[in-house]
Amino acid sequence: MHRAINLSRRQFALGAGLAAATGATGMIYAMETSVHAMDNGIHPPGMPWTHRSTFGALDIGSVRRGWEVYKQVCQACHHLRYFVNFRHFCDYRFPFMTEEEAKVEASEFLVDDIDDKGQPIRREAKLNDAVPPPYQFPGGRWLGEWGLPQNNNKAAAAANNGALPPELSLMISARTTHHHRGDDYIYCLLNGYFDPPAGIKLDEGKAYNPYFPGGLISMPQQLFDEGIEYKDGTPATQAQQAKDVTNFLTWCSIRSYNDTGKRWALELLLLLPLFGAILVYGKRNAWDVKSRRRRSRGATMVSISNREALQQHPLLLASTRYPAARL
């Protein structure tokens, strides 16, 4: 009886300790989560992007419309620094327009260059040229190291109340964290401008966006219903513009490995049964050869051992020669 009481006390103490540890862990997690949410704002929800599925790809039409949004709205302040040339628009890996259309798009931009005599000139952009930045250096110095377009950051900050507009070619990858994806963040940010709640004071040149860390952002709202006109006649709502420019920035950020990697994976999956059949056939053939060699080697060893035993024992040798002697 006394032993049973001690056992029940131990079980009760163990259960109480586990419950206390679980409650303390839950409280600490809730406190950490609440502090993180207040510091970083609202985490954007996941959106049903076509390129998220296993065999899905970027929406080509949306990417092209996103280029129109970038050209008419975003390009006034932001630039595409890392390896976004006009020839990539018609590249074989993931084009969203023809070569002739890409040439027309490039001709709408003027870039600084030097002529055959070394004098600075301005000419129309070509397919091999990078998308020029909005704030260029005077005198034709708009290409920096590795041929990357160099933005005049001082002029950009001076034109935007001291806030430097970020580079956008890798923005999707840069804003991808363990809490949310970069495309979800950009889409919700562009649609997330609201009036500030009570108690929040906006400084001059600031806007309220709960998806931006801290809630106060230097970029005012840029997308509005019917703010631009699409060439294909798609209604240019604010949500549609945000979706299209997000797809275009996704194309800028992951065009080199997203759809190409999926295509390679699909080709490998189609070839996997053939490789498996070859490996199985080779394995069986190799093991059959080895097993035959082992059986023949074992039979040879047995015959040799039997011969040695017969030579050492004359009676066994006689019994093998004269079966009647066994009796």
Binding-site residues for heme c: 74, 77-78, 219
CB burial of 210-248 (b: ≥16 within 10 Å; e: otherwise) equals bbbeebbbebeebbeeeeeebeeeeebebebbbbbbbbb
| Angstrom distances, CA of residue 144 to CA of 28, 170, 273 | 49, 18, 49
Tokens at residue 69, please? Answer: 């949004």
3 state DSSP class of 156: helix
3 state DSSP class of 33: helix
Q: Answer yes or no: are the C-beta atoms of 183 and 47 closer than 8 Å.
A: yes
Residue 259 sits at φ, ψ, to 5 deg, of: -75, -35
> In sequence order, what are the residues at sequence separation of 6 or more whose Cβ sits closer than 8 angstroms to the Cβ of residue 173?
182, 253, 254
DSSP state at residue 178: S
Give the total residue count for the chain.
Answer: 327
Query: Which residue carries 């397919």 as its tokens?
Result: 127
Strands (E), 203-299: 207-208, 216-217
d(CA 112, CA 141): 7
d(CA 240, CA 243): 5
Q: Name the binding residues.
A: 74, 77-78, 219
d(CA 234, CA 241): 10
